[in-house]
Structure 1
Amino acid sequence: MSRYLLLLLSNLFVGTSWAQLGPTGGRDTSFSIAGSFTKEVKYHPELQLAHPDLPANVRKTAAQTYKRIPAGRELQLDVFQPTSRKLRPAILMIHGGGWRSGDRSHNYTLAGQLAARGYVTVTADYRLSTEALYPAAVHDLKAAISWIRRNAKNYAIDPRKLAVLGFSAGGQLAALIGTTNGNPAFDASGSADSSNVQAIIDLDGILAFIHPESGEGDDSKSTSAATYWFGYSKTAKPELWKQGSALTHVGAATPPTLFLNSSVARMHAGRDDFIAVLNQHGIYSEVHTFENAPHTFLFFEPWFTPTLAYIDGFLRRVFSSSN
């Protein structure tokens, strides 16, 4: 067998071929809250699952279709809102799972508790890499923001005060969505301004894929989650990986940003460089790091309650100053 053929086969098996990888199909259930608990409680015996019950002063409107895609597929979201009809800020919540696993139910507990504190929270589906490659997820979630704005009156939402929140891969997406406000290249609806957000909340989501702090894109043993999402390795198409990095787009139009981080440093790659740009433009940001906390800190006590408090405090500061 020739050396060239060996190299080609090697590239194919580790997911770094020159040809684009397509969606893998099927459903990836590798990431779950229960699985994370089983893994982390070995190292953190004090771990407790955040209480999942819906607060009494919150109502949930489930399974609202916000986008239809080919073959009759519907993308849906759930709305959690306080029972009073006072006009309130809204938060789009994006689940994690490496751009290929997870589902919107992972955000239900946090969504309910934030709604109890006076926000309308929205948990949304988006297409994962098993179904569609980058930038489909970005297009989907910007469409969800546009849906929120169009339906603001139905849910007593102040359309001038929309935030995007995400965990892990969802945090990466939240930051990318917020830094591309008004950019038609990232909005397939044709009306980019309708998907603008006024605040970003990034829970352990990376800001830059190609960065000294990033661990994404190592295909040496198996195809990485990010390679599956982009469809190319970062060496084959580095420009694509840079385009999908929020750090590439951060600038004067970026909204105030909150970073909540675990002790896993690679999960916030590019954060300090991102904040440096915000500082250049006088844009407000906050950083809170939970020492010795696992990546999935937001699902568990003793970190869930302070996570909730940090988000609430940040949004009250940001949105009260925009009145």
Structure 2
Amino acid sequence: MGTIKLSLLILLLLVSLLTIFKAPAYYLWLAAVVVSEFPLIFICLTGVLLITGFWIQKYQLASVIIGVLAIVLFVSPIIRAYLISTTLKQNFKAAFESKDTTQDKPFSFLKLFTSSNKTNVSYQSLTYSDDLTLDLYPAQLTGKRPCVIVVHGGSWSSGDSKQLPELNSYLAAKGYNVASINYRLAPKYQAPLALEDVKQAFAYLRRNAEKLNIDTNNFVLLGRSAGAQIALLAAYTQHQQGLKGVIDFYGPADMVWGYSAPASKLVMNSRAVMERYLGGTYKAVPDKYAASSPIEFVNKQTPPTLIIHGDNDVLVSPIHSRKLDEKLQQNGVKHFYLDLPWATHGFDYNINGPGGQLSTCVVERFIDLICQ
């Protein structure tokens, strides 16, 4: 019994290391999302193991030390989220020179116990271009309301508009229309066709604004991962009328640099992913890599930008977001960079997790601020 208990606690300790170290392989990355954003599960598991068989003396001291250390690491994302939350409102206000009259706290321990799909707004699927569809989550407030266009991730070759719907429902409940779009996928369809699909989505939403209750003076783009690259590029190059800002969840902002510093092949063959999307290696089509790098198009007229990235991201390096943050600063563009030290790629899978709460907070405040 003592040996089994010790072995399980050692396993939990190894798993807990994913809260502070980057995952070395694909399936460990998936585990890192769960460990860092659903920490209560692992805290409880470790606690139960510590209590179980407490009367057994064999390996008791070792079990206690290992178990306590594992719990400390599992708790660390919660503690770090709380610490960031204490200055988050102040830092956000300073970045945009704005007032914040909201009473909601950026982070709540009690929310960790709440289901992420507590708010569930029904959507309707609409065809916006040829056979491409979008899922429209209607604003739950009357009158013409702003519209958030969401571009999904998936390495430009997979994923769809159903991805991570909880934030869509949350924003709709707060009074924003949300249009989660599908776009043409690689390798059959390569850049810049996905960018053209975003353009068509804008056109469709404008044409149907009256019946969909969309305020065409208040659009916001939001993208995750590969979708963030598309959203940023659309925001920075298309000059869409009524576009007030763009939200970037862990997106590759510099495709040229990204190709030169690929992710570990144990996690993802990022060079192959980019080659399928752009039609070749950097040596073969260098202009397409530059033309697909949002960072190349930042200037003083660039719309306000919200950047959200985790330092433990092993699919898209946080250096992309740091470089974008620096370029936006150099050009005097209003923006905010939410840097989450423990978070990995896809951390917002749970909007009530430590990272999910903070990102949802700044997304809501950003949209509320720019859509006035």
Return the TM-score normalized by structure 2. Answer: 0.65
C-alpha contact (below 8 Å) 1:166/1:172 kept by paired residues: yes
- When residues 276 and 42 of structure 1 are mapped into structure 2, their CA distance, relative to the original with a 3 A threshold, is closer
Residue 280 of structure 1 and its aligned partner are, at CA, apart by: 4.2
Q: Which residue of 1 aligns with 2:167?
A: 110
Which amino acid is the alignment partner of residue 208 of structure 1?
D
More strand by share: 1
Q: Which residue of 2 aligns with 1:245?
A: 293
Q: Which residue of 2 aligns with 1:19?
A: none
Provide the aligned C-alpha RMSD in A: 2.9
Aligned positions of 1:206-245 closer than 5 A: 206-211=252-257, 215-216=261-262, 224-245=272-293
- When residues 287 and 90 of structure 1 are mapped into structure 2, their CA distance, relative to the original with a 3 A threshold, is same
Aligned counterparts of 2:137 and 2:154: Cα–Cα separation in 1: 22
Once the two structures are overlaid, the 10-residue window that deviates more, 281-290 or 169-178, is 281-290
Residue 278 of structure 1 and its aligned partner are, at CA, apart by: 3.0
Residue 216 of structure 1 and its aligned partner are, at CA, apart by: 4.3
1:306 pairs with 2:358: yes
Aligned counterparts of 1:218 and 1:283: Cα–Cα separation in 2: 33
1:141 pairs with 2:226: no
Aligned counterparts of 2:260 and 2:305: Cα–Cα separation in 1: 20
C-alpha contact (below 8 Å) 1:161/1:197 kept by paired residues: yes
Q: Which residue of 2 aligns with 1:294?
A: 344
Aligned positions of 1:140-289 closer than 5 A: 140-182=197-239, 193=240, 197-211=243-257, 215-216=261-262, 224-264=272-312, 266-289=316-339
Q: Which residue of 2 aligns with 1:120?
A: 177
Q: Choose the corresponding residue for 2:142, options 85, 98, 105.
A: 85
- When residues 261 and 43 of structure 1 are mapped into structure 2, their CA distance, relative to the original with a 3 A threshold, is closer
Residue 291 of structure 1 and its aligned partner are, at CA, apart by: 1.4
Aligned counterparts of 1:50 and 1:177: Cα–Cα separation in 2: 33
C-alpha contact (below 8 Å) 2:36/2:343 kept by paired residues: no
Aligned counterparts of 2:227 and 2:343: Cα–Cα separation in 1: 18
| 1:135-193 per-position Cα deviation (integer Å, ceiling 9, x unaligned) | 111111121122122222222211111010011101111111100023xxxxxxxxxx4
Q: Which residue of 2 aligns with 1:10?
A: none
- When residues 224 and 252 of structure 1 are mapped into structure 2, their CA distance, relative to the original with a 3 A threshold, is same
Which amino acid is the alignment partner of residue 135 of structure 1?
P
Aligned positions of 1:90-101 closer than 5 A: 90-101=147-158
C-alpha contact (below 8 Å) 1:178/1:255 kept by paired residues: yes
Aligned counterparts of 1:248 and 1:181: Cα–Cα separation in 2: 14
- Gap regions ≥5 residues in structure 2: 1-26, 42-113
Which amino acid is the alignment partner of residue 40 of structure 1?
V
C-alpha contact (below 8 Å) 1:213/1:270 kept by paired residues: no
Secondary structure at the aligned position of 2:256 is classed as: coil
Aligned counterparts of 1:284 and 1:47: Cα–Cα separation in 2: 36
- When residues 86 and 44 of structure 1 are mapped into structure 2, their CA distance, relative to the original with a 3 A threshold, is closer
Which amino acid is the alignment partner of residue 286 of structure 1?
F
Secondary structure at the aligned position of 1:317 is classed as: helix
Which amino acid is the alignment partner of residue 202 of structure 1?
D
C-alpha contact (below 8 Å) 1:175/1:200 kept by paired residues: yes
| 1:86-127 per-position Cα deviation (integer Å, ceiling 9, x unaligned) | 221110001111111111101321100111112111111001
Aligned residues between the structures: 268
C-alpha contact (below 8 Å) 2:253/2:320 kept by paired residues: yes
Residue 272 of structure 1 and its aligned partner are, at CA, apart by: 3.7
- When residues 176 and 88 of structure 1 are mapped into structure 2, their CA distance, relative to the original with a 3 A threshold, is same
Aligned counterparts of 1:59 and 1:42: Cα–Cα separation in 2: 30
Aligned counterparts of 1:172 and 1:212: Cα–Cα separation in 2: 12
Residue 51 of structure 1 and its aligned partner are, at CA, apart by: 2.0
Aligned counterparts of 2:125 and 2:183: Cα–Cα separation in 1: 13
C-alpha contact (below 8 Å) 1:217/1:234 kept by paired residues: no
C-alpha contact (below 8 Å) 1:93/1:121 kept by paired residues: yes
C-alpha contact (below 8 Å) 1:174/1:200 kept by paired residues: yes
Aligned counterparts of 1:138 and 1:162: Cα–Cα separation in 2: 16
Which amino acid is the alignment partner of residue 134 of structure 2?
L
Residue 208 of structure 1 and its aligned partner are, at CA, apart by: 0.5
Residue 279 of structure 1 and its aligned partner are, at CA, apart by: 3.3
C-alpha contact (below 8 Å) 2:148/2:179 kept by paired residues: yes
Residue 227 of structure 1 and its aligned partner are, at CA, apart by: 0.7
Q: Choose the corresponding residue for 1:46, options 21, 39, 42.
A: 39
